[in-house]
Amino acid sequence: MEKQPFSIPNISCGHCVMSIKNELNELEGVRSVEGNAENKSITVEWDFPATLEKIRDTLKKINYPAS
């Protein structure tokens, strides 16, 4: 299992964090998504077939690109 924090500058509230969680949890292999609106960050845990590239691509598609 891999785990990585991401800085997401576009996060402005808890709703943003929930939107990100909902989208990333749809990716096969994503085990958990935790977020903090104040720090503008999320932490994702995943296994195969999810990949760092798929997670980053999904964040970009939903307009929350990781910096």
Instruction: Give per-residue pLDDT as tens, 2-23.
Output: 999 999 999 999 999 999 999 9
Strand 41-46 and strand 2-7: the pairing is antiparallel
CATH of 2-61, one of 3.40.50.2300, 3.40.50.300, 3.40.50.620, 3.30.70.100: 3.30.70.100
Report domain extents, the chain. 2-61
Q: Closest Cα partner for 2 from 67, 48, 56?
A: 48
Specify whether the CB–CB gap between 60 and 9 falls below 8 A.
no
Exposed/middle/buried for residue 23 (C-beta within 10 Å: 0-12, 13-18, 19+): middle
Q: Which amino acid would we find at residue 46? A: W
When pLDDT is averaged across residues 41-58 and rounded to a whole number, the result is 98
Specify whether the CB–CB gap between 25 and 18 falls below 8 A.
no
When pLDDT is averaged across residues 46-66 and rounded to a whole number, the result is 98
